[in-house]
Structure 1
């Protein structure tokens, strides 16, 4: 379908925004798992049990991979690709919890800080996917805008329109595919640098450098 010229810049911006933010989340998740090989192996084990090693991950597999889903949620909590929400404005003055908010006030929500708030999360700086599994304190918390301690996509009427696509296709399927399909090894003496580059998005300052080795049957990979 050909869009009118006036719509093409918007289409380009939406595509770019979804690609950039999703790849950032996947890289952060990989970095955390390379720091914690037990998590990496546990995720591979789950996928080997559900999928096997004769084919690649498919969309229909995601619902049967709770640990993969938990890893994605934990990456979104600890490393939201957009650390500050888009600006919101109060068109009229109001009072919230005893605070007077003047009209035309600009509000920017610190999503990064909320995900690391010790009043909301146990051991908030620890990468622990188990918190999102049955028995974990965050088991019923979802990133859909209803649980305000976990809003990587924002909340309310201006929640990110690509939320579901980002979680399913870019984060879950992309991350699952590269972990299921390959073994990852850091170069000898290499240490994962977890520094962040602040900005509109928050990528790793130093990208991951690792060796990858196919781990599935050769017939599983496209030729």
Structure 2
């Protein structure tokens, strides 16, 4: 029997999309899509070539995909720009701190004890008749209490416990209680004094390194003065 004429042959089945092209791009290739617009266009072209001719993708869906990709790409570029600007601002901000090197800084921070006495600045209420120094370790436990003269000024803290034994090296918070007739009337944080040895930029943050090796932020410095002769 002769074949019928005038009837077009059935369309060939659409070629399957290779998993390495679609799935791989959706999982491990997100960063590539964000930085390479040509990759996205090649994927879009492959999707057009392999779509079902009996159920084609709506053109509006392609427009949505393109708009979404453009939005993501712009957001990535914006984030990179902001990161770069942040680093530049931190570098510019550090330009003011080399002038601090060599000065004695009064720092509002925990005292880092490394075995040597630490110079601190204590504040006592002017109406107090006695004062007490309270030392707390990094875990929040009080490890020493000692009587102080009822006057404000510098103090060389030797880091000793109740029995007069040296405390282990570590970070300690010091505070002063002002007392009148045995009753606490005020409490003041103890400020540390140390010479600024170095200003550095660590992960975009300005840090000041003190003579005792402790690193603090500029916000923790509440006073500067020439070192004592």
TM-score bin, normalised by smaller chain: under 0.3
Name whichever structure is richer in strand by fraction. 2
RCO greater where, 1 or 2, for CA within 8 Å and sep 6 or more? 1
Q: Structure 2-normalised TM-score?
A: 0.20
Name whichever structure is richer in helix by fraction. 1
